[in-house]
Amino acid sequence: MPQARSLLIAALVSPLLASTAFAAPDGWKPLLEPQELSAILAQDETVRIIRVSGDSGFIPGAVSAPYADWRGPAENPGALREVEYYQDLVQSLGIEADTPVVLVHEGADTTDMGTAARVYWTLKSLGVEDLALVNGGFTAWREAGLDVENEAGSVTASSWEPQWSDEWRVSTEEVEQHVASGDARLIDARPQSFFEGIMWTVADPGTLPDAGNLTYESWFEGNRMVDAAAARQIAEDYGQTDAPLTVSFCNTGHWAAINWFALSEMAGVENTRLYAESMAEWTQADRPVANQPNAFTYYWLSTKRWVESLFS
């Protein structure tokens, strides 16, 4: 009887222990204010802080993993690396699946947050369970008067073997299918000039057919991102909350990562996915493009940009 009772107690307690072993730290959420992160660090030493852009200083204990380490080649920066590459990277950062990870960008401007948001998306797709960004980045941390170190910290490497999930991603082939069927909400995260085909950089001018434009800047007040309630309201105002599938894209999956984070992690819009390669890959082949300027307009705009570059 005592042995049976022990087995019963073990059966009841084990699930509870399993559920608490992977619990996020108290106060954890996808977007943390500097003071909130400081409070978490004071009571939890397991949090891994990763600096992904800038080198003006470090939150104590933070390790460095520059944004370029997470990106694809110059001709297609949004392209994904092999899982084996990411495995080596996360192991060098001492990350396990249940390691609470905070991504920190410089905080120089709104576009800089895309570095942290893109790495957040990558780590989530690899299976990291608890992730967060710092609102305003390192600049906001420093301006809050919190402790700063001049050098990055060091950590013991892990042996974790991540498994990639496509739950939050769409490939170019899948986007082709969605464009043909019209069964997804395609959201261009770029500024309006890119959406209208007036401006372009690494990708040819224009946007995906039947796409809408919700610029990444919509989620910010100054250099700080709005809170979850405000993000939900923006999504509702845009008519985004009832989409069966949302595809966020831009030039190379940088600005689009901000839209993905705001919609998926802040506003709670289900089935929001990132087109990581975005227009840079889409326009490398003869695929349909909307808002594409005609030949005369294209050459006129190109010439105008060239002349302007001479005096900039």
DSSP 266: I
Closest CA to 194 of 283, 287, 107: 283
* Range from 41-45, 218-222, 304-308 carrying the lowest mean pLDDT: 304-308
> In angstroms, rounded to a whole number, what is the distance separating the alpha carbons of residues 152 and 56?
11
The answer to whether the CB of 196 falls within 8 A of the CB of 291 is yes
Strand order in the sheet with 212-213: 212-213, 185-188, 246-249, 272-274
Angle between helices 83-92 and 113-126 (to 10 degrees): 110
What single-letter DSSP state applies at residue 115? H
Q: Is there a common fold for 24-143 and 172-310?
A: yes
Mean pLDDT over all residues of the chain? 90
Give the HSE-up count for residue 67: Cα atoms under 13 Å, Cβ half-sphere.
20
Residue identified by tokens 């309201």 is: 233
Secondary structure class of 51 (helix, strand, coil): strand
Q: What is the mean pLDDT of residues 238-244?
A: 91
In the prediction, which pLDDT does 200 show? 81
Instruction: Take residue 207 and report the two structure tokens written for it.
Output: 């946007």
Residues in CB range of 90: below 8 A, 6 or more apart: 123, 126, 128, 158, 160, 162
Partners of residue 249 on adjacent β-strands: 188
b/e sequence 244-257, b meaning 16+ C-beta within 10 Å: eebbbbbbbbbbbb
Task: Encode pLDDT of 16-57 as tens digits.
Answer: 444 344 689 999 999 999 999 999 999 999 999 999 999 899
Give the model confidence (pLDDT) of 108-151 as tens digits: 999 999 999 999 999 999 999 999 999 999 999 999 999 999 99
Where do the structural domains in the chain lie, given as residue ranges? 24-143, 172-310
Residue 22 is predicted with a pLDDT of 61
Chain segment 260-285, per-residue pLDDT in tens? 999 999 999 999 999 999 999 999 99
- Which amino acid does the sequence have at 90? V
Domain covering 172-310: architecture: 3-Layer(aba) Sandwich (3.40)
Mean pLDDT of 248-264: 98
Q: What is the pLDDT of residues 66-94, one digit of tens each?
A: 999 999 999 999 999 999 999 999 999 99
Q: Assign domain 24-143 to its CATH superfamily.
A: Rhodanese-like domain (3.40.250.10)
- pTM of this structure: 0.88
pLDDT for res 201: 87
